[in-house]
Amino acid sequence: MTQTSTQELQALASTPGGQPAPAAPPARPAHIIGSEAEAMEAARSFAALIAPGALARDRDRLLPWQEVEQFSQSGLWGITIPREYGGADVSTATLTRAIALIAAADGNLGHIPQNHYYSLEVLRVGGSPAQKAFFYDRVLRGERLGNALAEIGHRDFQRRTRLLRDSGGWFVQGRKFYCTGALFAHWIPTLVSAQEEAPGQGERMYLVFIPRDAAGVTVTDDWDGFGQRVTGSGSVQFDRVRVEPEWVVPFTSSFERPTTIGPFAQIIHAALDAGIGHGALQAALPFIRVHARPWVDAGVASATQDPLLLQQLGNVHVRLRAADALVARAALAVDAAQRAPTDDSVAAASVAVAQAKALSTSASLLAGSKLFELAGTASTLAGQGLDRFWRNARTHTLHDPVRWKYHAVGNYVLNGIRPPRHGAL
């Protein structure tokens, strides 16, 4: 994508409600990362690249077209692809560390590929060899996957967007919301339901990989949440969109046996939350050193010597590091379950991830809130843009209610009940 087209698309999408043109095909093949060490170096480099512009993107709601292109061109969007298909097949630990680094620099850019990685995991678990070869190759070239999973205002959201089969072919009809990354995508994996022809099978769920520029696809930039403002999490309308059978991957069947789809999806959310929390802490430290004042009763000349400020700051740091440790521990459990998926290994991974998600949620929110309490009133000035950390944390941590993470952990520890198998656990 040229700089000119990037600017044009940003101008079109700068106000919620715009309908940006589809992402241009990659101008050149993306870099292919070959090792875990290279993946981490690429994540550090990209985080350093995007950090200076994070405040302006959030303040002015500038959708990061150029940054997303640089992100996928770096090769980071292909690092989970198995080695037999040309990818680096990095561990979940490396993936989560990379995502946390990027989320600390800009929580929006850390979030955008979450469902890209999720869809690749669904493909790994339930796709055919031909489907894997096709889509893995596309991703390694630099093509991006978005998502159209959720629907607003309907409890049984899966049943509203359907896969229709008739004499004219296969078609998708419906509307989705919270479609993070769809604006920037080349393919939009879409959760659909379909009535099976075989007696007794009833409705089954599928993930359909739909080209972003297919006839009948409308992506609308109507996300106006107060956080994660430039993730492109708007709506997608499918008006009798023709799809090929080769783009349809089983979904229901992947949860009828023990698989890591759920814990894999959730651990990326946990890493994102921890990363946003670290970003808040990193932003607070220089502000406190330069601008904060000690409380009069502390009897010290500098806020950096205020004993209660130090205690509170230490508490934030400890909780974030504890969240990091639980994410790292959960990553080992997810990797173990991927290698040998059983009822017990997948349950252990889900519980470990639920523990990490519970703590990363509270730690991220604490860091974003304490930033203001410790830095003082000057930190609330609009020009500082420090509120974005709390807004991003509060918005993103609403993914999959954390109260149910505690329930899953308690039920497992006390009653030996394994968590249910679905994409939110």
Contact of 7 with 20, CB cutoff 8 Å: no
Domain 261-415 grouped into CATH 1.20.140.10: yes
What pLDDT does residue 159 have? 56
- Mean pLDDT over 417-425 rounds to 90
Q: What's the Cα-to-Cα distance from 341 to each of 88, 204, 205, 352, rounded to whole Å?
A: 21, 22, 21, 15
Contact of 221 with 180, CB cutoff 8 Å: no
CATH classification code of 157-253 = 2.40.110.10
Alpha-carbon gap, residue 157 to 205, rounded angstroms: 11
CATH classification code of 3-141 = 1.10.540.10
Say which residues have a Cβ less than 8 Å from residue 129's Cβ, sequence separation at least 6.
Answer: none
Give yes or no for residue 16 having a pLDDT over 70: no
Give yes or no for residue 363 having a pLDDT over 50: yes
What pLDDT does residue 298 have? 94
For residue 8, name the pLDDT band (cuts at 50, 70, 90). Answer: very low
- Retrieve residue 54's tokens: 């994070």
Could you read off the pLDDT of 306-328 as tens digits, one per residue? Answer: 999 999 999 999 999 999 999 99
Percentage above 70 pLDDT, the chain:
93
For residue 195, name the pLDDT band (cuts at 50, 70, 90). Answer: confident
Say which residues have a Cβ less than 8 Å from residue 180's Cβ, sequence separation at least 6.
Answer: 111, 112, 114, 115, 146, 147, 228, 231, 232, 233
More confident residue, 349 or 196: 349
Alpha-carbon gap, residue 394 to 273, rounded angstroms: 9
What's phi and psi for 347, nearest 5 deg?
-60, -45
Cα angle 317, 321, 325 (rounded to 5 degrees) comes to 170
Give yes or no for residue 1 having a pLDDT over 70: no
- Mean pLDDT over 118-134 rounds to 98
What pLDDT does residue 83 have? 98
What pLDDT does residue 240 have? 97
What's phi and psi for 86, nearest 5 deg?
100, 0
Give yes or no for residue 17 having a pLDDT over 60: no
- Retrieve residue 303's tokens: 């806020």
Q: Nearest CA to 397 among 176, 228, 184? A: 228
Which residue has 């459990």 as its token pair? 333
What ranges do the domains of the chain cover? 3-141, 157-253, 261-415
Alpha-carbon gap, residue 326 to 330, rounded angstroms: 6
For residue 9, name the pLDDT band (cuts at 50, 70, 90). Answer: very low
- Mean pLDDT over 51-69 rounds to 97
Q: What's the Cα-to-Cα distance from 75 to each of 34, 115, 143, 227, rounded to whole Å?
A: 9, 16, 10, 27
- The DSSP string of 2-35 is -HHHHHHHHHHHSSTTB-PPPPPPPSSPPP---S
What pLDDT does residue 21 have? 72
Burial environment of residue 304 by CB neighbours within 10 A (0 to 12, 13 to 18, 19 or more) = middle
- Mean pLDDT over 361-390 rounds to 96
What pLDDT does residue 156 have? 57
- The DSSP string of 335-387 is HHHHHS--HHHHHHHHHHHHHHHHHHHHHHHHHHHHHHHHH-GGGGSGGG-TH
Which residue has 């991927």 as its token pair? 338
Burial environment of residue 362 by CB neighbours within 10 A (0 to 12, 13 to 18, 19 or more) = middle
SS3 of 374-400: the string is: HHCHHHHCHHHCCHHHHHHHHHHCCCC
Average pLDDT across the chain, whole number: 93
Contact of 356 with 327, CB cutoff 8 Å: yes
Q: What is the pTM of this model?
A: 0.93
What pLDDT does residue 146 have? 97
What pLDDT does residue 199 have? 67
